[in-house]
Amino acid sequence: MSLRPEFRTYHFAGHDEHVLCFGTASNRQLLIVPPLFDEMNRCRRMLVQAMRELAGRDVGCMLLDLPGCNESHAALEVQSLSTWRAVVADAGEQLGATHIVSLRGGTLIDAGTGLPLWRLAPVKGASLLKTMIRTRIAGDKEAGRSTSETELLAAAQSGPIELAGNRLGPAMVAELASTEPQDTAQLVVRALGQDISGSPLWLRAEPQDDAAMSAAVAADLDQWSASCGG
């Protein structure tokens, strides 16, 4: 099987969004819902390497670009977790996914497909929001401005705000503050450092790789997907 990437698209809300794929001829097609916001960039290299290894095991993988992210022509500020949850369901159907894989913030939007679901290091939306708010406050302080969490959350009720390089609208901020990963059927949850060896790349200042983590993720996903409908 070719280990070279292929590029596909799915259609949502008037836009064609990109999907990075490996192993498109396989009977098993894992739709990967990436971490959200800046965590997505920090983990992408590790995920792509895991996808290459899975393709070598005859397991197909598809890494979503969510509307408003990367090369998307959709505006991020009009997105919400509810919108992205609908995206995962629609894209899974359009692309012929057989399993869903999600990491970190991706676990907030992965439920509702009815497909077997694998999660790594799930996180509450409030935790992601607080981290981005702290980043904004620290950046403002370096620029000589004083900003508080209360002020930012108040501003987010009436319009978009900039958090850690992301322009988030009121719906996204409100849903992040209150959303947790939802329980669903055919769910397995993996903990980093226990079930999966590796390092929390989402905490790094810059995008990095972790070959051992990629190999561990690939091996676990191969075994899991083969045991539940693969």
Single-letter residue type at 108: L
Judge whether residue 155 has pLDDT over 60: yes
Cα(88)–Cα(181) distance, rounded to whole angstroms? 14
Cα 52 to chain centroid, rounded: 18
Is there a contact between 108 and 180 (Cβ–Cβ < 8 Å)? yes
Average pLDDT (63-81) is: 96
Judge whether residue 208 has pLDDT over 90: no
Is there a contact between 128 and 60 (Cβ–Cβ < 8 Å)? no
Average pLDDT (89-106) is: 97
How is residue 128 written in tokens? 């992601």
- Bridge partners (DSSP) of residue 118 are 101, 188
What band does 4 get if pLDDT is binned at 50, 70 and 90? confident
What band does 229 get if pLDDT is binned at 50, 70 and 90? low
Average pLDDT, the chain: 94
Largest CA distance in the chain: 56
Judge whether residue 228 has pLDDT over 90: no
Judge whether residue 65 has pLDDT over 90: yes
pTM over 0.75: yes
Please give the domain boundaries of the chain with CATH numbers for all domains.
Answer: 6-123+182-227 (3.40.50.1820), 125-180 (no CATH)
Is there a contact between 32 and 102 (Cβ–Cβ < 8 Å)? yes
Cα(41)–Cα(103) distance, rounded to whole angstroms? 12
Judge whether residue 170 has pLDDT over 90: yes
User: What does the pLDDT read at residue 206?
Assistant: 79
Judge whether residue 2 has pLDDT over 70: no
User: What does the pLDDT read at residue 204?
Assistant: 86
pLDDT tens column, 19-63: 999 998 899 999 999 999 999 999 999 999 999 999 999 999 999
User: What does the pLDDT read at residue 22?
Assistant: 96
